[in-house]
Copies of this chain bind each other. A is one copy, B any other.
């Protein structure tokens, strides 16, 4: 069975109707662009995805990377796909022309890259990580470092990684131990072990540039003593050609439930004389810098969760349209023709829920991308500042909600297919497995929730929080009186009020109660906030659709679907938040009071 990876009609809805990206062409950076060039970028990516990635999707999964003790073995088709993406200039289409990019708005680039993620969420991860690594170095490196590394990363000649976790330090970065010893020539030597390093070794590029966090000898303890280093697999000669092999060795590959298109590695730095490394920026500022890359990676993770949800939705939708099975409860005549799966209300529920999760998540991720664009290119300083503030605030939500609800969508995609969905004959079970990593990497859901409640909400006098609530209120006001939006407005208004009450209650408790108790249910708070924000995105989609429906067109069915999915979210999802509000406001101590020995 063949199904579209993503719905192009839907992508165009976000770009040209919801986020009105054509207006960006008025900004100097995007002056060359218009709807045609935006569509062309999506066309290229879709073509590459269909040509190079879809045909090898199952084979990549069946043949996970292996290690022969010397080098990493992957099926050769991956290298072909890797090269094709690089040649098409799709490693960093959002970057400046002179840095090898297409100078596309990130929101457009995200749509284009969506095709690659949908077809090969992890195989394409080599390039995605490389792009993030290049952005990191470009922002914090010296001009010499930029000249040396960034352009060769952006062409795919070199690949990049981020190396944070260690065997004893997963989520707890404060406990990182890798040591950096200063050398007379200004370089450093690294000694230590890193794990879970995606793309940490492979033969796809001529060199691999690790962005490594380590402690300079004598640095302060905890996160305030961590510095950022460039540590390449091969050192460079003065003329830029590849020189000696650096002292960073592959110690092993992790074999995983999914995500088998990418290597996940254990790396040993400095088994011999130490791995030669170059400090980036100031000493002890590494974690701050890395969070530049990490925040980008977090939005990327959310987008991956959303994209796989979109792709699984499209697939199960196509299946439900084509597969006859059974009859409706009202029709008991066994001689009547079976109906298509999509005619059953429960199948529609599963498709509607997927649509609500997938398109809700996806619009949120594109909204975040648009905030990046505004932060970087808004003509006014206040606009740039506002965008940054909201983006910074929303990051844990953008990372988490699509990561948690994306797999739920894929779970429903499997269920729509029934037994067929459980087999390797269809790709939905693979999406489900691939997507399961997203609530874990780049900060687990638990870590994100501590970031949201413990930091993002209170920080800067609650500026980010206020900006978010104001944005929702403004849209609620705009929606007032529009009949198609009443259900959502009522549900969202209630949920926002509950959220405000809950936030006030929790922040006030922070001043008087055990902080461990106040933070105990932070994951539920994050889910609550996520529901409100995704509800907001659905309200915005519903507003756009309702407006379009004012004049009849051939596209009415599309817009009616948007309104119905919005209503699904309003009726089936948002009301749950009232229960969560009660639990949170009451400072429920069930998990806090539970004792280890009672389990």
Which residues of A does B touch, CB under 8 Å?
165, 168-172, 174-175, 195-196, 221-223, 254-259, 264, 317, 321, 324-330, 334-335, 338, 340, 342-349, 351-352, 355, 407, 411, 414-415, 418-425, 429, 432-433, 436-437, 439-441, 444-446, 449-450, 454, 514-517, 519-523, 557-558, 560-561, 564, 567-568, 571-572, 575-576, 578-579, 582-583, 588, 590-599
Known: A338-B172, A579-B578. A351 touches B441 (CB 8 A): no
Contact yes or no, B175 A597, CB < 8 A: no
Max chain B Cβ within 10 angstroms of own Cβ: one of A347, A444, A571:
A571
Q: 8 closest pairs, A vs B, by CB?
A: A222-B334, A561-B598, A345-B520, A172-B326, A257-B429, A349-B591, A346-B446, A174-B334
Contact yes or no, B196 A256, CB < 8 A: no
What distance in Å separates the Cβ of A424 from its nearest Cβ neighbour in chain B?
A: 4
Contact yes or no, A254 B519, CB < 8 A: no
Contact yes or no, B257 A329, CB < 8 A: no
Complex A-B: 28 CB contacts under 8 Å: A170-B325, A170-B419, A175-B326, A195-B419, A221-B335, A222-B335, A254-B425, A256-B429, A257-B422, A258-B422, A329-B515, A330-B515, A344-B446, A345-B519, A345-B591, A346-B446, A346-B449, A346-B520, A346-B522, A348-B594, A355-B599, A422-B437, A432-B436, A560-B595, A568-B591, A571-B588, A575-B579, A575-B583
What distance in Å separates the Cβ of A412 from its nearest Cβ neighbour in chain B?
A: 11
What chain B residues lie within 8 Å of A517 (beta carbons)?
Answer: 345
C-alpha spacing A423/B252, complex, angstroms: 13
C-alpha spacing A522/B348, complex, angstroms: 13
C-alpha spacing A344/B523, complex, angstroms: 12
Partner of A349, one of B257, B418, B521, B597: B521
Partner of A595, one of B326, B437, B557: B557
What chain B residues lie within 8 Å of A567 (beta carbons)?
Answer: 590
What distance in Å separates the Cβ of A415 from its nearest Cβ neighbour in chain B?
A: 7
What distance in Å separates the Cβ of A483 from its nearest Cβ neighbour in chain B?
A: 16
| Copies per assembly | 2
Max chain B Cβ within 10 angstroms of own Cβ: one of A165, A328, A346, A423:
A346
C-alpha spacing A433/B422, complex, angstroms: 9
Contact yes or no, B568 A590, CB < 8 A: yes
C-alpha spacing A425/B264, complex, angstroms: 13
C-alpha spacing A399/B311, complex, angstroms: 30
Contact yes or no, B441 A419, CB < 8 A: yes
Contact yes or no, A564 B590, CB < 8 A: yes
What distance in Å separates the Cβ of A78 from its nearest Cβ neighbour in chain B?
A: 20
What distance in Å separates the Cβ of A554 from its nearest Cβ neighbour in chain B?
A: 12
Partner of A172, one of B168, B327, B519, B575: B327
Contact yes or no, B172 A591, CB < 8 A: no
What chain B residues lie within 8 Å of A516 (beta carbons)?
Answer: 328-330, 345
C-alpha spacing A46/B232, complex, angstroms: 51
C-alpha spacing A533/B485, complex, angstroms: 37
15 A-B pairs besides A165-B419, A223-B334 with CB distance below 8 A are A196-B419, A254-B423, A254-B425, A256-B429, A342-B596, A345-B517, A348-B592, A348-B596, A414-B436, A415-B439, A557-B598, A564-B594, A571-B583, A575-B579, A578-B579
Known: A444-B415, A590-B567. A523 touches B346 (CB 8 A): yes
C-alpha spacing A267/B591, complex, angstroms: 50
What chain B residues lie within 8 Å of A433 (beta carbons)?
Answer: 257, 433
C-alpha spacing A517/B424, complex, angstroms: 35
Contact yes or no, A599 B326, CB < 8 A: no
Contact yes or no, A352 B591, CB < 8 A: yes
Max chain B Cβ within 10 angstroms of own Cβ: one of A571, A575, A593, A596:
A596
In the complex, residue of chain B having the shortest beta-carbon distance to the beta carbon of A423: B254
C-alpha spacing A557/B597, complex, angstroms: 6
What distance in Å separates the Cβ of A206 from its nearest Cβ neighbour in chain B?
A: 29
What chain B residues lie within 8 Å of A327 (beta carbons)?
Answer: 172, 174
In the complex, residue of chain B having the shortest beta-carbon distance to the beta carbon of A563: B598
Contact yes or no, B591 A346, CB < 8 A: yes
Contact yes or no, A338 B175, CB < 8 A: yes
In the complex, residue of chain B having the shortest beta-carbon distance to the beta carbon of A577: B579
Contact yes or no, B424 A440, CB < 8 A: no
Contact yes or no, A596 B415, CB < 8 A: no
C-alpha spacing A558/B572, complex, angstroms: 37
What chain B residues lie within 8 Å of A576 (beta carbons)?
Answer: 576, 579
Contact yes or no, A415 B429, CB < 8 A: no
What chain B residues lie within 8 Å of A582 (beta carbons)?
Answer: 575
Partner of A352, one of B256, B560, B594: B594
What distance in Å separates the Cβ of A257 from its nearest Cβ neighbour in chain B?
A: 4
C-alpha spacing A420/B597, complex, angstroms: 24
C-alpha spacing A347/B519, complex, angstroms: 12
Partner of A560, one of B169, B436, B598: B598
In the complex, residue of chain B having the shortest beta-carbon distance to the beta carbon of A414: B436
In the complex, residue of chain B having the shortest beta-carbon distance to the beta carbon of A437: B422
Partner of A317, one of B255, B345, B599: B599
Max chain B Cβ within 10 angstroms of own Cβ: one of A172, A407, A568:
A172
Partner of A596, one of B340, B429, B520: B340
What chain B residues lie within 8 Å of A418 (beta carbons)?
Answer: 170-171, 440, 444
